[in-house]
Amino acid sequence: MAILPIVVLGDPLLRKETKPVTEVTDELRTLVADMFETMRAAEGIGLAAPQVGRSERLCIVHVEDAMYTLINPEIIAREGSIKWEEGCLSIPDVFGWVERASYVKVRAMDLEGKEIEVEGRELMAVCMQHEIDHLDGKLFIDHLSFLKKRQAMAAWEKEKVKYPSGLRILVPGEKAE
Ligand SMILES: [Zn+2]
């Protein structure tokens, strides 16, 4: 397994629509294993393929004890609303309060190619909506008001100098920033 570099805001890949996965290959399984290792190294709770430079419609989530690989995920039900202060591994050290559904049901394919349905409430619901947004080229900052988005972008202007290559390289064992 390998820790993959994470692309940061500004990379056009983060704004591109992903392509549905048609077949679960060994290469895809390796990608998912690497994504889990990368997410752990970054101390994140979710990661989407575009964040590691890929175009597959796939993301992973890990909230408390629940861990899922979601291939071609689709939100098939949503209820309620919740406000959560979100961050993103591709926009380090920038946060913003986002309102989303407090419950979602997601239909996806797992790594065995089987159809699964995953329900999430509160943080898991927030996390799945955030990750599925990534697959449509959407970021949490897009949900902020004009003013809050401007503040977030100003914060990012200061942060982004830490990533001159446009990549966030994580070193195992080092505290993630
Ligand atoms: Zn994100």
For the chain, the structural domain boundaries read: 6-168
How far does residue 27's CA lie from ligand 1's centre (Å)? 23
Superfamily the domain 6-168 falls into: Peptide deformylase (3.90.45.10)
pLDDT for the residue numbered 155: 96
Given this model, what pLDDT does residue 174 score? 63
Q: What is the mean pLDDT of each run of 10 residues along the chain (177 residues)?
A: 95 97 97 97 97 98 97 98 98 96 98 96 98 98 96 96 94 63
For ligand 1, the distance from its centroid to the CA atom of residue 38, given in whole angstroms, is: 13
Verify whether residue 122 is a known catalytic residue: no
This prediction has a pTM of: 0.95
Instruction: Out of 122, 131, 159, 174, pick the active-site residue.
Output: 131
**What CA–CA distance (Å, rounded) separates 105 from 136?**
18
Secondary structure of residue 118 in the 3-state scheme: strand
Model pLDDT, residue 173: 66
Residue 114 CA to ligand 1 center (angstroms) comes to 25
- The pLDDT of residue 171 is 81
The maximal CA–CA distance of the chain, rounded, in angstroms, is 45
Ligand 1 centre from 151 Cα, in Å? 18
